[in-house]
Structure 1
Amino acid sequence: MVRFLFRVLSLLALCVGVVFCVIDAIASVSASQVIMTPISEAWIETHPGSLMTLEELVVGRLGDGAWLALRDVVLPQPAFAAMLVLSLAFWMIGYKKPSLAGRFAA
């Protein structure tokens, strides 16, 4: 059941990553230059209050240094790349290894 949940989360993250990639591709073609939307900008456009809530949570539990590292390292990354990496991580967590005995073993 948990593997199924992680596989579904992987599929959803993959779909969102592809949507972000298509949006960036369309914006890049229309502007005649490469445009990659950072996570922070996509997050603020989607739900601005939750980013402030995340900041309060991280500062309250981990301190200012953790928030500064998150803000300076993670949030400027392209949104499509972050979602694709998240999708890969969820898929790896939900992956079921094939049986060592083989497909037709009893």
Structure 2
Amino acid sequence: MIRFLLRFTGMWVLAGGFVALVLDGVRSIAASQVVMTPLGVAWLVTSEASLNHVQAFISETLSPRMWDLLAPPLLQAPLFLVLGVIGAALLALGWRRPAH
């Protein structure tokens, strides 16, 4: 059951990454230059409160310096790439190994 949930969630996240890639492609064609939506921008637009909660949680639990070191590169990464990596990881975790 857990493998099914991992694969199901992985497929949806991977599909979201594909949608983000297509939207960035359409915007790139319209602008005649490469356009990539960063994770931070998409997160800020969809739920600013959750981004603030994650920042507060990491700063209080681990260290404010940890947020300053890890967050900027991650939040500047293209959304389609982040979703693609997370989706592929979930699919890999839910993959059933062939019996020998």
Q: TM (normalized to structure 2)?
A: 0.95
Deviations 1:16-73 (A, max 9, x none): 1011111101110110000011000011111111100110111111111221122222
Report matched runs for 1:1-106 at 5 Å.
1-100=1-100
Question: Unaligned regions of 5+ residues in structure 2, if any?
Answer: none
Q: Distance in 2 between matches of 1:2 and 1:66?
A: 32
Structure number with higher helix proportion:
2
Report the 3-state secondary structure (helix = DSSP H, G, I; strand = E; otherwise coil) of the residue aligned with 1:98: coil
Indicate the percent of aligned positions where both proteins have the same amino acid.
Answer: 33
Give the letter aligned to residue 13 of structure 1.
V
Per the alignment, residue 104 of structure 1 pairs with none
Report the 3-state secondary structure (helix = DSSP H, G, I; strand = E; otherwise coil) of the residue aligned with 1:75: helix
RMSD over equivalenced CA pairs, Å: 0.8
Which is higher, the Rg of structure 1 or of structure 2?
A: 1
Q: Distance in 2 between matches of 1:63 and 1:88?
A: 29
Give the letter aligned to residue 17 of structure 1.
G
Greater shift in the superposed pair: 60-69 or 36-45: 60-69
